[in-house]
Structure 1
């Protein structure tokens, strides 16, 4: 059920029976010479809408701009600062709780959002507003990603390329896949700035890759993208069903261990 396509009485019928919501989040940022700026939010929305169709759970509109200052040197990249992103997502989620939602899955497709969505989930859980959890699509299927790609990459690599070849093939510049690989960083282990003496000595993608992407994009195909999409969707559906089955009391923050603070005060 896609929220923006429904009327308010229809949504009233939903929350009378269900209390789960899916919130897709991505980014609008460079993904090399071969993929659109929309890559991350297209993947997030595609997975969220598919899982919504399969389960019947509510899916909200997509948050298209995320925490992406580490790609700022490349034309077109958009971002919001981390505190504003966290506050926005928290406010959006509290809006959902006002309407009766008490479990939220953040369907995320941008690595820069991860720690901030985790922080928002903690805030909401700690004050018993709701249970909100971040879900990153590729982290749900790590074995499959490793199996299908010899040289994967964390950004603009074959896994994201394959997903867009499956979801929006007209947006992939197929003739630039070889250049994306050759002018980027095909082998992440070869990056000079990844780590020195135990410290991450870089902040921006351009410090490790001239064109901002990693991995061997020529390994990607639409058929592999379909496999990744299906496997990740199955994992998301399982998460949603697990969440729906749990009593909300089991999801919220546990009580302080006994004795409770102040319990012996007369």
Structure 2
């Protein structure tokens, strides 16, 4: 069920009988010369809508702009400051709680949102407003991602390219995949741009001139379909698990 397409009398039954909502979040930021700026929020929205269609749980409208100042040097990147983002998502979640929702799955597709969504979840839990968890699609299927791609990348790489080829292939510049690979950073690991253990970069452009990492030529729509199906299965299972929990299990423990 997609909230924005329903009339309020038809939502009443859901809010009276169910307690879970799916909230897709992403970003609007550069994803190299080959992918649309909406890559992250498009992936999050597609996965959230799929899970809602398969389960009947409520899916809210997508939060399209996230914490992305580290991509600001590239044209078109949009962002909000981290405190503003946290406050907005917390208020958004309190809105759901007002209608009776007490458990939320943040379907997230942007790494820059992760720590902030977890902080919002902590605040909501501490206040006993709702139990909210952050879910990142690729982290739910790491073995499959590793099996499908020889040279992956954390941003604009083959996994995101394959997902958009599957979800919205018409938006992928297939003729620029080699350009994306050759103009970006192919190899990237935890030791990149570190000096004596300290991380020495702040912005994406410090690592990659065109904003992306990995070998984008390794992506196909068929691989994207595999990723989408496997991640959707994980999301459905998470929603079912959370919906089945007794509220008492989700509340903070008492002081010792």
TM range (shorter): over 0.9
Distance 2:89 2:147 in 1: 34
Residue 226 (1) aligns with residue 225 (2): yes
- The aligned length equals 256
Per-residue deviation, 1:15: 1.1
- What's the Cα RMSD here? 1.0
Distance 1:145 1:100 in 2: 37
SS of residue in 2 equivalent to 1:188: coil
Query: Are the counterparts in 2 of residues 185 and 191 from structure 1 also a CA contact under 8 Å?
Result: no
SS of residue in 2 equivalent to 1:168: helix
Residue 140 (1) aligns with residue 140 (2): yes
Cα pair distance change 1:190/1:92, threshold 3 Å = closer
Q: How do residues 202-221 of structure 1 correspond to structure 2 at under 5 angstroms?
A: 202-221=201-220
Q: Give runs of ≥4 in structure 1 deviating > 2 Å.
A: 189-192
Q: Which residue of 2 aligns with 1:248?
A: 247
Q: Which residue of 2 aligns with 1:18?
A: 18
Deviations 1:116-147 (A, max 9, x none): 00000000000100100100000000000001
Q: Which residue of 2 aligns with 1:44?
A: 44
Q: Which residue of 2 aligns with 1:262?
A: none
Distance 1:9 1:62 in 2: 22
Query: Are the counterparts in 2 of residues 48 and 59 from structure 1 also a CA contact under 8 Å?
Result: yes
Query: Are the counterparts in 2 of residues 68 and 77 from structure 1 also a CA contact under 8 Å?
Result: yes
Q: Which runs of 5+ in 1 are unaligned?
A: 258-266
SS of residue in 2 equivalent to 1:133: strand
TM-score (norm 2): 0.99
Q: Which residue of 2 aligns with 1:164?
A: 164
Q: Which residue of 1 aligns with 2:177?
A: 177
Residue 53 (1) aligns with residue 53 (2): yes
Deviations 1:47-91 (A, max 9, x none): 000000000000000000000000000000000000000000000
SS of residue in 2 equivalent to 1:211: coil
Q: Which residue of 2 aligns with 1:261?
A: none
SS of residue in 1 equivalent to 2:195: coil
Query: Are the counterparts in 2 of residues 28 and 77 from structure 1 also a CA contact under 8 Å?
Result: yes
Deviations 1:76-123 (A, max 9, x none): 000000000000000000000000000000000000000000000000
Per-residue deviation, 1:189: 3.6
Per-residue deviation, 1:149: 0.4
Q: Which residue of 2 aligns with 1:68?
A: 68
Per-residue deviation, 1:192: 4.8
Per-residue deviation, 1:10: 1.0
Q: How do residues 90-109 of structure 1 correspond to structure 2 at under 5 angstroms?
A: 90-109=90-109
Query: Are the counterparts in 2 of residues 154 and 214 from structure 1 also a CA contact under 8 Å?
Result: yes
Q: Which residue of 1 aligns with 2:200?
A: 201
Task: Between 246-255 and 202-211, report the one with greater CA deviation.
Answer: 246-255
TM-score (norm 1): 0.95
Per-residue deviation, 1:255: 1.1
Q: Which residue of 2 aligns with 1:79?
A: 79
Query: Are the counterparts in 2 of residues 191 and 208 from structure 1 also a CA contact under 8 Å?
Result: no
